[in-house]
Amino acid sequence: MNTPFEFNDHPDPPRRPGIFARLRSSFLTGLVVIAPVGLTIWLIWTVIGWVDSFVLPFIPQAYQPDVVLRALIGDELYARWLGDDTQLHIRGVGVVIFLLFTIVVGWLAKGFIGRSLIRWAEGLVDRMPVVRSVYNGVKQLAETVFAQSESSFEKACLIQYPRKGIWAIGFISTTARGEIAGRAETSGGLLSVFVPTTPNPTSGFLLFFPQEDVIELDMTVEDAAKLVISAGLVYPNPKDPTKPAKQG
């Protein structure tokens, strides 16, 4: 007779998952593999289509893809292969035209005549109240995102923010100068530090810290950005764990 407290020396072997459980597990695994690839392809395909729909209406009818193909192979072959009323849409033609047009505009803008035309056009825009505000805002955004300048974050760092004892990752941009450095009540230098938010590191706070309160990190700016974007899930491999941190 078994008692309520009697132990079973031979427990039953664990049950194997059923066919539906295995199918569900395989489906979820496949979804994890397919979803990033599929979404990436869909996003690229959508962006290409959007650029084509914006650029192609500006192309003269004589240079549209279907008209050019008709001229190359002849109307008879075109009608036999695709149909006489078929309009050929080659995805990506607008993107190629946009890239070539942008390169030509950039090349012209670097020259003396191009710079003179840009200054004349910007002077004209500055006399238009509403257009001036829109243009200056878009120009500042474009220069921030696309400008090929040497202005970039110098180092990743640790700072105590928003209070002592709480540490945050920041990016050292420059040494404070001008009125900011002159009016700040500090005994030493002052560093401008950008403190990003998670998971969007393009937004954040510009803070000015005394140089002695900023701890420079050995990790690169890219690794620090990955750490911020991943909410602390992706840590870079330490180069030398025994190496002491550098003070700013």
Radius of gyration from C-alpha coordinates of the chain: 30
| Rounded average pLDDT over 13-27 | 78
- Report the percent of the chain where pLDDT is more than 90: 13
Mean pLDDT of 140-158: 70
Amino acid in the structure at residue 137: G
Number of domains making up the chain: 1
CB of 188 closer than 8 Å to CB of 210: yes
- Does residue 235 lie in a domain region? no
Domain annotation covers residue 15 = no
For residue 176, what are the domain limits?
A: 155-230
Token code pair at residue 116: 């003179």
Residue 239 included in any domain = no
Whether residue 100 has pLDDT greater than 60? yes
Helix (H, G, I), strand (E, B) or coil at 89: coil
For the chain, counts of helices (H) and of strands (E): 8, 6
Does any domain span residue 176? yes
Instruction: Give pLDDT tens digits for 49-62.
Output: 888 888 888 888 77
- Whether residue 154 contacts residue 173, with contact meaning beta carbons closer than 8 Å, is answered with yes
Is the pLDDT higher at 226 or at 73? 226
Distances (CA, A) of 185 to 189, 195, 211, 239: 10, 21, 13, 37
Does residue 125 form part of some domain?
no
pLDDT surpassing 70 at residue 216: yes
The answer to whether residue 148 scores a pLDDT higher than 60 is no
pLDDT over 70 (residue 34) = yes
Q: Residue 210 pLDDT more than 80?
A: yes
- Chain-centroid distance of CA 32 in Å reads 22
User: Does the global pTM surpass 0.85?
Assistant: no
Give the SS3 label for residue 160.
Answer: strand
Half-sphere exposure of 126 (CA within 13 A, CB side): 6
Q: Is the pLDDT of residue 186 over 70?
A: yes
Query: Distance between CA atoms of 49 and 31, rounded to whole angstroms?
Result: 26
Determine, yes or no, domain membership for 165. Answer: yes
The length of the chain, given as a count of residues:
248
Query: Is the residue at 149 inside a domain?
Result: no
Q: Does residue 120 fall inside a structural domain?
A: no
Query: Confidence class of residue 152 from pLDDT cuts 50, 70 and 90?
Result: low
- Mean pLDDT (whole number) for 73-100: 76
Count of other CB atoms within 10 angstroms of residue 78: 19
Preceding omega of 162 cis (within 30 degrees of 0): yes
Residue 12: per-residue pLDDT: 60
At residue 10, the pLDDT reads 57
- Alpha carbon distances (Å) from 43 to 4, 17, 40, 91: 62, 37, 5, 14
